[in-house]
Structure 1
Amino acid sequence: MVRILVVDDHAIVRSGLMMLLNGRQGMEVVGEAADGDEAIAQAQTLRPDVVLMDLSMPHGKDGLTAAAELKRSLPETAVLILTMHDDEGYLFRAIQSGASGYILKSAPHEELLAAIRHVAEGQAYLYPTATKRLMSDYLDKMKNGEHAGTYESLSDREKEILAKVAQGYSNKEIAEQLVISVKTVESHKSNLMEKLELRTRPDLVKFAMKKGLLTFD
């Protein structure tokens, strides 16, 4: 029996997924959560085989941040990202977060069920066009001498926040300038530092200087 935790900020979506999954042989929904913080707490208590995780949730931790934390605290639990974002940037970030799979909300039910079974068995799952895109991008990076953890692996927002943090702005000041929440700034900052394998603000400043992100009059 595959034990599943469903995580989505929309109650109607959660209900629909629970009805679909509970009606299938060999699957059982053991819990639900509306944001990343709740998902982590529920997973630590319920120890599901698979966490079916929405990517974008406005309150609490987002799906990628929660996936990374679950990977560290519950390595035996597989995280399957279920999202509407058919976007290369999100795809790579999901993989880097430790998610076992990435599937679109527009996918047929049978494809979702197959994806859940795959990750529950310890396999990775990407929707078909994503696999082709991933391989193409990887080959391009190899050809250009790039690798994971480079500045180019950051999203545009992460690059923006990297520069502002290096310039000495606080999380609150960055949030006000970019008109986003402090939690969102903290999430982006955590993600970019993990991607670049940086641990402290001085490390971040040195990296920004090397990249020419800081200018001095």
Structure 2
Amino acid sequence: MSRRGVIARCSAAAVGGLMVVGMAGAAIADEYGDEEVVVSVEIEALPPVGALTMSVAAESTTLSEVESEDADVRQFNGTLPKVTVTDDRESVPEDVGWYVTGQSSTFVGVAGGEIGAEHLGWAPRLLTANDGEVAEGPVVDTVLDAPPNNVGLVAEELLALALDSTGARVAGEWEADADLFLKTPKGVAPDSYSATLTLTLWEDAL
């Protein structure tokens, strides 16, 4: 309580005393010293509103055999489940872009056989109409195809790319998928094979 408040309360008590007793004098307080107390508070920055996120429509997909153009190759086709990139941030860093990559593990059969990730390729497809803010990645062929891009999904390959996150954010949501194709030698061991295709959303200076 401040000294003025204390004096006010004492004065009120003194007046009350005068009314009852009929005699009292106003008390005057003497100041004998001050002490200081430091009050500190740490106010953290508010978390950003919204986020750049990615979702995939399904956790699995199946490849089915189709007629191969090469008599020495067996081909199995399928479709990557729809990938959605959403950006609902109120503010976006300048001079950055986002991109989605995919990388496959080795196909492993129930009986223990293996088919390397270099045998899996894709043809990305952008499903959201745009004016060039986002582009689909290039076709990645398999090791059994002709060069130059016959590396398969061994390393991170591009599904979709936004060179400017600020420009892409206007749409708010982008969708893409890809045609998947696995090509094996004709003599591949019959089995039930599976692999994991890892999709990653990045944002970085481009």
Interval containing the TM-score (normalised by the shorter chain):
under 0.3
- Give the number of the structure with larger relative contact order, counting CA–CA contacts within 8 Å between residues 6 or more apart: 2
Q: Which has the higher helix share?
A: 1
Q: Highest Rg: 1 or 2?
A: 2
TM-score, normalised with respect to structure 1: 0.22
